[in-house]
A and B are shown apart, each in its own frame.
Chain A
Amino acid sequence: MCNKDDLVSYLYDDLDAPARAAFERHLRACGECRDELEAMRGVRADLLRWSPPEPDFAFRIVSEPRAAQADNVLRPNVPSWRAWFTPAAGLAAAAVLVLAAAAGLARIEVHSGPDGWTLKTGSSPSAIQAAVAGFGGVRARDVNLSAASDAEVWGAIERRISALEAASRDTGVRTASATGARATDAEILKVVRDLLAQSEKQQKTEFALRIAQVMRDVDLKRAADLNNLRVGIGKIDANYADEAAAHRTLMNYILNSNSNSDSKK
Chain B
Amino acid sequence: MSSTDEELVARSQGGDMDSFNQLVMRWERPIYALAYRTIGREEDARDVCQETFLRAFRALKGFKGQAKFSSWLYRIALNLCRDWIRRERRQPVAQAPEGVDLVEMASEATPTETIEDLVARKEISQAVARAMALLPEDQRTAIILKEYHGLTFQEIADMLDCPLSTVKTRLYQGLSVLRRQLDRSGGYKHV
Contact = CB atoms under 8 A, between A and B. Distances in A.
B82 interface: no
Contacts of A51: 125
A50 B125 contact: yes
Interface string B40-81: 001101110110011001100000000000000000000000
A52 B143 contact: no
A46 B189 contact: yes
B128 A49 contact: yes
Nearest to A77: B21
Contacts, number: 98
A103 to B, nearest CB: 23
B33 interface: yes
B50 A81 contact: yes
Nearest to B167: A8
Interface string A56-93: 01011111000000000010100001100000000000
Contacts of A43: 175, 178-179, 182
A214 interface: no
Contacts of A57: 25, 28-29, 32
A14 B153 contact: yes
A37 to B, nearest CB: 11
A81 B42 CA distance: 10
A168 B149 CA distance: 66
A76 B50 contact: yes
A7 B172 contact: yes
A76 B39 CA distance: 22
A4 B128 contact: no
Interface in B148-170: 148, 152-153, 165, 168-169
Chain A: interface size category: 20 to 34
Bin chain B's interface residue count: 35 or more
B8 interface: no
B32 A52 contact: yes
A55 interface: yes
A48 B128 CA distance: 9
Interface string A1-38: 00011011100101000000000000000000000000
B163 to A, nearest CB: 11
Contacts of B121: 49
Given A5-B168, A8-B171, A50 B24 contact: no
Contacts of B189: 42, 46
Contact of A50 (B42, B57, B128): B128
Contact of B147 (A4, A47, A55, A63): A47
Given A7-B172, A52-B37, A53-B42, A63 B17 contact: yes
19 contacts: A4-B169, A12-B171, A40-B176, A40-B179, A42-B179, A43-B179, A47-B143, A49-B121, A50-B128, A52-B37, A55-B32, A57-B28, A59-B49, A61-B53, A61-B54, A63-B17, A76-B50, A81-B50, A114-B58
